[in-house]
Chain A
């Protein structure tokens, strides 16, 4: 799965859970500051991403995923590890 595939899948999830337009979900965007995604929505996005990408995103790691790009990289690495 390419980074673009992950980004597309993640954008879909962020759209469904937080109502953010898909095109706004770009790697340089901060979830909290730019996309107005709060900590609880982040948990829901993480659990949806776990199902979609077959990875584990523990709460401790989730706190470090500040931008969309952080999440894409994390999922890419976790996917390789899995």
Chain B
């Protein structure tokens, strides 16, 4: 047996995103008969609108769209990819997973491919797995995709929950690099909180205890962010960007306060136009910042994802 190259690191080299063409504003929701108002939703969540997948758009088609864009951005051929990790929790059927079909759809059929379900925490879990696969020599180029069609799992009569979510996908290409580009992950879980966000057995839609989730997120996650920074040897004040899961703008703002982030740190607030897209939210938010030129290439960003399980994971990355 030979050891992997000890100097081999991993980094994100390109991103791709797919935001469905369909858009649902808060007023559209009220017009559909949801008992709510634009003002109420904006004040409590920061959400103004969200993208909604069409009937023929699925977790798999959206993941393939985002992946193809990431490949194009990297200037890679689909056959250059040797592993695909699909972070999702909204497949319509549990068997089979979607990753193999995404790989086939983009012209990379035959490669290692699997789904990873850590709900809204999924992307940072998947990114860690991908980085480790590259570092150990198990893969050279990995597609990490977060793709969610949450609207398949929404009860439009549950006004506390249906207003929060949207659909979309984003992909990152992880490749070997000479310098560290994906820091060690700080991750964890709390199965005692499994009921706080779930599709309960014998139910069909996502149910959520909003105040309890809000309390958990605003009190338990700042230490995870600190741990991720410490593992990467980066001071919070030296970050260029903070890209937390886009669950609720009030949670984002509470985390920014708890971390005492200086004003110069760019904070992702993609939720206003996107809603909560679960495992797609962190890469979608990162992709938007990069595309807008709001963050410097090569700068350091803290990613922090968290959600149902409960699960959470965060790591510092070099911005592609």
| A59 within 8 Å of B (CB atoms) | yes
Q: Which residues of B contact A40 (CB under 8 A)?
A: 44, 210-211, 214, 248, 250
Q: How far is the CB of B10 from chain A (nearest CB, A)?
A: 37
Report whether A39 and B211 are in contact in the complex, using a CB–CB cutoff of 8 Å. yes
Q: Is the CB of B211 within 8 A of A59?
A: yes
- In B170-220, the 8 Å CB interface with A consists of 209-212, 214-215, 218-219
Give chain A residues whose Cβ lies under 8 Å from the Cβ of B254: 44
Q: How far is the CB of B136 from chain A (nearest CB, A)?
A: 41
Count of CB-CB pairs between chains A and B under 8 Å = 27
Q: Determine whether B297 belongs to the interface, using a CB cutoff of 8 Å to chain A.
A: no
Most buried by B among A42, A43, A46: A43
B43 proximal to A (CB < 8 A) = yes
| Interface SS of B by simple majority | helix
Tally of contact residues, A, Cβ under 8 A: 10
Measured between beta carbons, the chain B residues less than 8 angstroms from A52 are none
* A62 interface hit (Cβ, 8 Å): yes
A43 touches B214 (CB 8 A): yes
Partner of A38, one of B43, B209, B215, B218: B43
Q: Which residues of A contact B211 (CB under 8 A)?
A: 39-40, 42-43, 59, 62
Which chain A residues (14-56) contact chain B, with CB distance < 8 Å?
Answer: 38-40, 42-44, 46-47
Contact, CB under 8 Å: B44 / A59 = no
The closest CB in chain B to the CB of A47 belongs to: B219
Contact call A59/B212, Cβ cutoff below 8 A:
yes
Residues of B within 8 A of A39 (CB): 44, 210-211
Chain B residues within 8 Å of A62, by CB: 211
B234 to nearest A CB, angstroms?
Answer: 27
Determine the chain B residues whose CB is within 8 A of the CB of A42 once the complex forms. Answer: 211
User: Which residues of A does B touch, CB under 8 Å?
Assistant: 38-40, 42-44, 46-47, 59, 62
Q: 16 extra interchain contacts, Cβ-Cβ under 8 A, other than A40-B248, A44-B254?
A: A38-B43, A38-B44, A39-B44, A40-B44, A40-B210, A40-B211, A40-B214, A42-B211, A43-B211, A44-B218, A46-B215, A47-B218, A47-B219, A59-B209, A59-B211, A59-B215
Interface residues of chain B, those whose CB is within 8 Å of chain A, are: 43-44, 209-212, 214-215, 218-219, 248, 250, 254
Q: 6 tightest A-B contacts by CB?
A: A43-B215, A43-B214, A59-B211, A40-B250, A43-B211, A47-B219
